[in-house]
């Protein structure tokens, strides 16, 4: 069974879809869940993520300049991928609640980013988006931060309020070494961890603490080359049955693609 990348991005650029499919072909990745990319440049993104451990880089919990995800670009390009690219709606809780509610049937999942949009996970807009995801049976991808309202514990609170929704703890936390975050989400069964960007030791610990049914392979392409993430899993020397769960079966289950 070919791998399923649970977290890649399509920046709004000519040839982005073909570039991603070419990389997937080279590495034996059959399908990928994709969100909009290119909302902020890397310097700004670094500032926003780094502010999670200290003073917020946002005003009043909201970004001073609102990045806009080109969800329409993602949808057009996934439709032209022969079913290999599965679109996620990248939502700004301040502006996209109605749009996601209207367009949810066209998508396969939802992404919410406290860093990009400066939102807390207890924001009413977040809850409204997740309620739509619940109705659409969409998984919800979230990258937690280190500031109040965006931590792993806040994701657990949200997941408890929506027990029928599958939440994805992006990158196994926001530092690459967020082992405390893994311990925090472990008792909450409707949260799974996605491994892009984390250390090998953290990926191994995710499997130990959550079990092989709650860990997902992802890449954060194009910021990370998928070859690197596949090498990380190979270094874990997992049993074939466990590797299949992590690289494909768990993703297919969450995406409703089980055969």
State pLDDT tens for residues 21-44.
999 999 999 999 999 999 988 888
pTM: 0.94
**Residue 45: its pLDDT value, please?**
85
pLDDT in tens, 145-154: 999 999 999 9
**Residue 66's pLDDT band (cuts 50, 70, 90):** confident
Q: What are residue 91's DSSP bridge partners? A: 112
Domain spans in the chain, listed from the N-terminal domain onward: 3-254
Token digits for 29?
């990745």
Q: What are residue 34's DSSP bridge partners? A: 8, 87
Task: Report whether pLDDT(250) > 80.
Answer: yes
**Residue 57: its pLDDT value, please?**
44
How does DSSP classify residue 230?
H
Q: Are 252 and 258 in contact (CB under 8 A)?
A: yes
Q: What is the mean pLDDT of the chain?
A: 93
Task: Report whether pLDDT(254) > 60.
Answer: yes
Q: State the average pLDDT over residues 45-63.
A: 58
CATH topology for the 3-254 domain:
TIM Barrel (3.20.20)
Percent of the chain residues past pLDDT 70, beyond the cut: 93
Which of 67, 149, 143, 135 is CA-nearest to residue 107? 135
**What's the CA gap between 105 and 108, in Å, rounded?**
8
Q: Is 7 helix (H, G, I), strand (E, B) or coil?
A: strand
**Residue 105: its pLDDT value, please?**
98
pLDDT in tens, 76-134: 999 999 999 999 999 999 999 999 999 999 999 999 999 999 999 999 999 999 999 99
**What's the CA gap between 112 and 36, in Å, rounded?**
11
Task: Report whether pLDDT(54) > 50.
Answer: no
How does DSSP classify residue 166?
P
Task: Report whether pLDDT(180) > 80.
Answer: yes
């Amino acid at each position: 069974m070919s791998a399923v990348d649970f977290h890649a991005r399509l920046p709004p650029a000519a040839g982005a879809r073909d570039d991603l499919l070419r990389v997937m072909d080279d590495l034996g990745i059959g399908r990928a869940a994709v969100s909009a990319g290119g909302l902020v440049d890397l310097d700004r993104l670094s500032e926003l993520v780094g502010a999670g451990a200290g003073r917020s880089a946002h005003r009043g919990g909201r970004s001073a300049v609102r990045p806009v995800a080109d969800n329409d670009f993602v949808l057009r390009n996934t439709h032209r991928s022969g079913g290999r690219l599965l679109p996620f709606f990248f939502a700004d809780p301040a502006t996209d609640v109605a749009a996601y509610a209207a367009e949810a049937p066209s998508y396969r999942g939802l992404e919410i980013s406290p860093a990009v949009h400066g939102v807390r996970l207890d924001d009413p807009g977040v809850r409204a988006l997740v309620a739509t995801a619940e109705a659409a049976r969409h998984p919800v991808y979230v990258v937690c931060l280190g500031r109040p309202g965006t931590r792993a514990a806040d994701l657990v609170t949200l997941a408890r309020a929506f027990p029928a929704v599958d939440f994805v703890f992006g990158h196994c936390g926001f530092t690459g070494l967020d082992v405390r975050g893994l311990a925090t989400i472990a008792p909450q069964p409707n949260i799974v961890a996605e491994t892009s960007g984390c250390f090998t030791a953290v990926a191994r610990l995710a499997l130990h603490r959550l079990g092989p049914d709650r860990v997902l392979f992802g890449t954060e392409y194009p910021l990370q080359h998928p070859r690197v993430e596949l090498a990380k899993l190979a270094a874990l020397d997992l049993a074939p049955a466990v590797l299949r769960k992590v690289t494909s079966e768990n993703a297919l289950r969450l995406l409703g693609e089980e055969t």
